[in-house]
Structure 1
Amino acid sequence: MNRYTMVWAALCAWSLGLGSQAWAQSVRETVRDTVPQFQPALSAEAPPPGASVPGPTRTIGWEQLIPAGWDPYKDLKALNLETLKDNDPRAEEALKKMRKMWDNAPINPLILGQSVRLPGYMVPLEDLPEGSKEFLLVPYFGACVHSPPPPANQIVHVVLDKPTKRFRMMDTLWVTGPLSATKTDSHMGVSSYRIDAKQVAPYVDKK
């Protein structure tokens, strides 16, 4: 689990009512020194075996969706986490500020308009007899379902030409298509990006 994911897990614990003290202790361990270097939750270094994607498609990881210099923990750095106690209103206020900042997380304009291949976990936005035509792609298991949504620049709204029954909740996928900056506010979370999928395939680790 990378440090970015650890903070989301701490947010989940707080949202489930485990108290600010537990939250502060978990977050304290992750943000004490520096903002972490972001790494994709799934390997994006190699295409799945047998896959053939025409055109100049670029395989990317989740860290490439984050603009250079953006600090997702800005509001936490002003707090002295060592001094926080249970139910400290400063912790709750920091979480509210961070949630607002994450829902309006900036995009990386350098990759917009490109045809990309991105690995992630599927979160369906609909449950229709004919299958799912729209879903969110997220970087780690449980995001938007068992834990609060990650920043909006770590959620991609995927739209298919036609519904599919092939995949289910939290299946790991490769999604290929043009990447655009389209903000979507769904019941599962806010996304800053959209991919109009040209190909959706099961994720296969390079190992």
Structure 2
Amino acid sequence: MGVGFNTLQASVPNQETQTSQKQSSESAPPSNPSVTELEWEALIPSDWRFDTLIEKYDISNLSDDDPRALALMEELQTLWKEAPVVQDLDGKVVKLPGFVVPLEMNAQAIRAFLLVPYYGACIHTPPPPANQTIHVVTEQNRAYKGRLFDTVWVTGTLKVERLSSELGEAGYRIEAHKVEPYQ
């Protein structure tokens, strides 16, 4: 799939590549929580690695149209969708950078989106595993005013909660207190 799954990181562009400042979505976070800044790797359980899952298969002799290859692909997609999460993160207030893939939007703002670690995920490339996809929900009156694939920081309460959508499977949900441009 072209992505190093052991080191999935948000490949965020520098300030010069940001074409415009987006209005942030902000409300008061819960009283006195400590905000933990996470890297994408922290969302993957230490004992789960996709590359080690596929090592047990000999794919060198399979062609794309081989029924065994198709069966293997289905099995791997199931593992991808059911990728385990880190239960200890449930309820923590976190801050994480990533790319916006809108789920609910209108002409003015994005109310809910998938936060993904790399540009093009879910649209131009296959979605990341469920433990590398976060369903972000903003407050109704504080929706994010931005665009597809904007690079943002999201701060909010992380929940271990699955979402299945046409664009991908999410293993986490963030109730966003703040969505702001990545700088």
TM-score, normalised with respect to structure 1 = 0.72
Tell me if 1:107 matches 2:85.
Answer: yes
Instruction: Give the number of the structure whose residues are more often helix, by fraction.
Output: 1
Q: Determine the structure 1 residue equivalent to 2:121.
A: 143
Corresponding residue of 1:40: 9
- Pairwise CA RMSD: 2.3
Structure scoring higher RCO (CA < 8 A, sep ≥ 6) equals 2
Query: Any conservation in 1 of the 2:111–2:144 contact (CA below 8 Å)?
Result: no
2:106 counterpart of 1:128: yes
SS in 2 for 1:107: coil
Q: Which amino acid aligns with 2:156?
A: G
Q: Which runs of 5+ in 2 are unaligned?
A: 13-28
Detail structure 1 runs of 4+ shifted over 6 Å in the superposition. none
Report the AA paired with residue 66 of structure 1: I
Residue 192 of structure 1 aligns to a residue whose secondary structure is: strand
1:93 partnered with 2:38: no
**C-alpha distance in 2 between matches for 1:137 and 1:122:** 5
Secondary structure at the aligned position of 2:121 is classed as coil
Query: Any conservation in 1 of the 2:134–2:171 contact (CA below 8 Å)?
Result: yes
Aligned to 1:68: 46
Take 2:83 and 2:8, find their aligned partners in 1: how far apart are those partners? 17
CA contact (8 A) 2:135 2:163 kept: yes
Structure 1 gap segments, 5+ residues each: 8-29, 31-35, 44-52
Asked if the contact 1:125/1:134 (under 8 Å) is kept, the reply is yes
Q: TM-score, normalised by structure 2?
A: 0.80
Q: Cα 1:110–1:88, aligned 2, differ >3 Å: closer, same or farther?
A: same
Q: Match for residue 143 of structure 2?
A: 164
What is the letter of the counterpart of residue 9 of structure 2?
Answer: P
Measure how far apart 1:39 and its partner are: 4.1
Question: How many correspondences in the alignment?
Answer: 165
Letter in 2 for 1:177: G
